[in-house]
Amino acid sequence: MLTPQDGPGRRREFCSQKCRQWDWVARQRASELALSENELVIAREELDTLKDQIYVLHCAVVDARRDLEKPRQTKETLAELISWLLEAAEPVTAASFSPALRP
């Protein structure tokens, strides 16, 4: 996240020089591969992993909705429900989509 900037000058676009460099690399590769602004390249393994994580999170949400429809939830069952949702969400929220260096 970029911190607000006071004073004159252009607004910062990147949080660090590293991010600026990765943006440049990404634009160069996109140009080489003739990708449009709405296309990206991701390794099949990374995509499959992300799909699996999203599926687990989807199942947790479906389970949570079903469990919340039951009458009289206890603190313990609600705590388990929240724990299950957080456990399922953690891999998705922790996913890193930084470019990988290729030899």
> What are the tokens at 28?
């160069």
Residue that has been written with the tokens 């891999």 in this structure: 91
Domain that holds residue 63: 43-95
Domain count, the chain: 1
| pLDDT above 60: residue 102 | no
What pLDDT is recorded for position 94?
86
pLDDT tier, 27 (very low <50, low <70, confident <90, very high otherwise): confident
Q: 34: left (phi > 0), else alpha (psi -120 to 50), else beta?
A: left
Q: Is residue 13 part of a domain?
A: no
- Residue 72 included in any domain: yes
pLDDT band at 79 (very low <50, low <70, confident <90, very high): very high
Q: Whole-angstrom Cα distance, residue 34 to residue 53?
A: 30
pTM, to two decimals? 0.62
**Domain-embedded: residue 25:** no
Q: What was the pLDDT predicted at 41? A: 79
Q: Which residues contact 64 (CB under 8 A, 6 or more apart)?
A: 81, 84, 85
